[in-house]
């Protein structure tokens, strides 16, 4: 067997060294850079392309320094300077371990003297690659059983990050992006000298803390924000995971950029889609080994959204912003071309795609924290109400605090019905509270994925608040059913909601719409306000999750920690096995009321 790599590198010198059964062709063939993937390494090889009868044949040179290829028993020449030009094009890059950014740069190059051909697995989409994993993974320290699609996602991220140093996790909401990230971190836990940095909106801080405590109790973490945050690097090197907000990172960018982080993970990464924003600039400046932006909607407004995310995940992947704008205008054709380059670093699965792995119903609690202004307001309302109603103070104060947690603009008159509490705007309190912000995030992603959403709230003005605060949400149908909706009109509203060709939101009062309505067009349910009676909440959720529903239903419960709402959540004992027990008592007892008034939110 001939060892071609031992033969002369020059085609002219080769002729006298060929085996007798080989022949030489004097016709030059087109030089090619052949990209392939072996294990987790990307490899670039010098080769040539021969065309015959409409077919293209890619031939690999014996080495990157040989200026010829073997085609069966025929030796075909490459240009004399092919090896030199190949080395010049790769510059300082290692052809045996090419970075993903360099591979994409080669593929995109239009003025190259070489054609570039990538093997299928080089540009395999994240979704395709994840499907090929076995869906079984054991991770030390993980206190959770991953669904098969989650295990495949973690395996894919772990494999991909080793050769790209960055990726975009874009699974649809409800598929457990946070849990998958936590599992990924546990595979090789960060050291405190180079911790993982998680950046998220303020409304998600409590959720990250809760998920880490629940699923990865061995991971140490710290929350960096508020008046007591550290101002020195060593202060950030006291835990394996540091959680902060986008605004805090901007304010403290000097300390965040003074060390190298093992990971920088951005939740709700639409916050950095504007490449000119201070948030995006600050994050890009943070030294890091691996980067993961998380968002269910990688492209919201233009293809520039994707450039911003991809360039953060893998710096330089798509060239400069100016180069990108010229090469990829906002058109369908450009989007398709761009997808071929970015899909290998994006995991973007839909609920419908992994439905076989999912239970019929996904129950997701989202704890939130009141901001400092609302903490002060919460304490003031509690004190003022107890002073005004000394006899019925506990009951009245509890209701007033429920109203405040729903929205600080809500006001109940002394003789009025709490469900119809008035909406009184206040200059001191913005319309967008942490709870409204989180609800709008859920609605935005649902709308962009064409989904229909049910929002349940005990207070009828919440629909008006969400629609006003969500003026920039994608276009969608909005409807409402509450105690003031005539019985004969309710089914018509449900029908309009179901038949609308596109995303839709139906805001419902669980007391008015908790029974009798079949709303299986919805696959997302948001409980905006908790209820004391778990049976009422279960009936409300069952409007979407019932016979006739063909897709899994994601059910979210939003609540503020250390407030009356947390007591209501605990009181309701909202568990899957509840349906098999006797319907719990729906009235509040003295213990509930006392606990609801004793618990007190703290400033951050």
My answer on whether 176 and 154 are in the same domain is yes
My answer on whether 257 and 199 are in the same domain is yes
Range of the domain at 309: 126-357
Phi/psi of residue 481, each to 5°? -135, 125
The DSSP call for residue 412 is -
pLDDT at 516: 62
My answer on whether 108 and 249 are in the same domain is no
My answer on whether 102 and 179 are in the same domain is no
Q: DSSP secondary structure string, 134-180?
A: -S----TT--S---HHHHHHHHHHHHHHHHHSB-EE-PPTTS-HHHH
Measure CA of the first residue to CA of the last residue in the chain; give whole Å.
Answer: 73
pLDDT at 416: 64
pLDDT at 423: 87
Tell me the two tokens of residue 225: 């924000």
Q: Give the β-pairing of 422-423 and 410-411.
A: antiparallel
Instruction: Say how far apart CA 418 and CA 160 lie, in whole Å.
Output: 53
My answer on whether 148 and 210 are in the same domain is yes
431-468 per-position pLDDT tens digit: 999 999 999 999 999 999 999 999 999 999 999 999 99
Q: How many CA atoms lie within 13 A of 432 on its CB side?
A: 13
The DSSP call for residue 583 is P
* Residue that terminates a domain, selected from 357, 379, 410: 357
Number of domains in the chain: 3
* Residue that terminates a domain, selected from 118, 149, 177: 118
Those residues of the chain that have pLDDT short of 50 are: 574-586
The DSSP call for residue 302 is -
My answer on whether 519 and 569 are in the same domain is yes
Instruction: Say how far apart CA 439 and CA 229 lie, in whole Å.
Output: 28
360-393 per-position pLDDT tens digit: 888 899 999 999 999 999 999 989 888 888 767 7
Helix spans in 274-365 (H) = 278-284, 303-313, 321-327, 332-342
Query: In angstroms, how far is CA 277 from the centroid of its own chain?
Result: 20
pTM: 0.86
* Residue that terminates a domain, selected from 316, 332, 357: 357
Q: Is residue 73 part of a domain?
A: yes
Q: Is residue 257 part of a domain?
A: yes
Q: Is residue 377 part of a domain?
A: no
My answer on whether 19 and 98 are in the same domain is yes
The DSSP call for residue 5 is G
My answer on whether 325 and 454 are in the same domain is no
pLDDT at 580: 38
pLDDT at 579: 41
Structural element, H or E, at residue 456:
strand 452-456
> Which region, left, alpha or beta, applies to residue 135 given φ > 0 means left and ψ of -120 to 50 means alpha?
left
> Which region, left, alpha or beta, applies to residue 53 given φ > 0 means left and ψ of -120 to 50 means alpha?
left
The β-bridge partners of 243 are 198, 223
Instruction: Say how far apart CA 551 and CA 525 lie, in whole Å.
Output: 13
């Amino acid at each position: 067997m001939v060892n071609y790599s031992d033969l002369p590198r020059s085609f002219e010198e080769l002729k006298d060294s060929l085996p007798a059964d080989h022949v030489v062709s004097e016709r030059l063939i087109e030089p090619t850079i052949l990209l392939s993937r072996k294990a987790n390494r990307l490899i670039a090889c010098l080769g040539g392309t021969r065309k015959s009868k409409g077919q293209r044949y890619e031939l690999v040179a014996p080495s990157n320094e040989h200026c010829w290829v073997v085609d069966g028993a025929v030796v075909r020449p490459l240009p004399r300077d092919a090896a030199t030009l190949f080395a010049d094009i790769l510059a300082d890059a290692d052809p045996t371990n090419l970075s993903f950014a360099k591979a994409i740069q080669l593929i995109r190059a239009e003025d190259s003297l070489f054609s570039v051909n990538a093997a299928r697995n080089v540009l395999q989409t994240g979704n395709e690659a994840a499907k090929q994993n076995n869906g079984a993974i054991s991770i030390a320290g993980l206190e959770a059983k991953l669904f098969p699609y989650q295990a495949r996602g973690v395996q894919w991220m772990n494999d991909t990050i080793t050769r790209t140093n960055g990726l975009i996790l874009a699974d649809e909401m409800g598929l457990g992006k946070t849990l998958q990230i936590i599992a990924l971190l546990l595979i090789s836990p960060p050291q405190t000298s180079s911790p993982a940095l998680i950046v998220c909106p303020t409304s998600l801080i409590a959720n990250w803390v809760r998920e880490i405590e629940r699923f990865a109790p061995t991971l140490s973490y710290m929350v960096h924000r508020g008046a007591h945050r550290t101002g020195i690097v060593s202060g950030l090197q006291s835990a394996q995971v540091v959680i902060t907000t986008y605004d805090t990172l901007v304010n403290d960018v000097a300390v965040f950029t003074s060390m190298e982080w093992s990971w920088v993970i951005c939740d709700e990464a639409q916050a950095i889609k504007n490449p000119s924003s201070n948030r995006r600039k600050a994050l890009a400046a943070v030294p890091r080994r691996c980067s993961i932006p998380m968002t269910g909607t990688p492209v919201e407004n233009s293809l520039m959204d994707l450039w911003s995310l991809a360039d953060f995940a893998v710096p330089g992947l798509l060239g400069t912003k100016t180069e990108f704008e010229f090469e990829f205008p906002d058109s369908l054709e450009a989007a398709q071309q761009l997808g071929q380059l970015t899909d290998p670093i994006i995991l973007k699965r839909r609920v419908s795609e992994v439905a076989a792995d999912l239970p019929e119903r996904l129950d997701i609690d989202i704890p939130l924290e009141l901001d400092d202004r609302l903490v002060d307001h919460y304490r003031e309302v509690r004190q003022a109400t107890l002073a005004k109603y000394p006899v019925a103070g506990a009951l009245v104060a509890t209701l007033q605090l429920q109203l405040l947690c729903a929205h600080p603009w809500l006001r109940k008159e002394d003789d009025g019905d709490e469900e119809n509490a008035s909406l009184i705007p206040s200059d001191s309190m913005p319309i967008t509270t942490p709870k409204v912000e989180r609800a709008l995030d859920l609605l935005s992603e649902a709308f962009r994925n064409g989904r229909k959403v049910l929002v349940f709230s005990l207070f009828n003005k919440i629909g008006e608040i969400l629609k006003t605060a969500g003026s920039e949400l994608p276009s969608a149908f909005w409807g409402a059913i509450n105690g003031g909706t005539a019985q004969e009109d309710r089914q018509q509203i449900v029908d309009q909601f179901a038949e609308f060709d596109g995303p839709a939101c139906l805001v419902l009062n669980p007391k008015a719409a908790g029974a009798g309505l079949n709303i299986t067009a919805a696959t997302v349910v948001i409980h905006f306000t908790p209820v004391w009676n778990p049976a009422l909440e279960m009936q409300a959720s069952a409007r979407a999750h019932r016979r006739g529903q063909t897709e899994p239903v994601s059910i979210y419960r939003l609540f503020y920690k250390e407030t009356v709402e947390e007591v209501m959540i605990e009181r309701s004992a909202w568990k899957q096995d509840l349906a098999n027990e006797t319907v719990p008592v729906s009235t509040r007892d003295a213990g509930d009321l006392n606990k609801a008034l004793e618990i007190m939110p703290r400033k951050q």
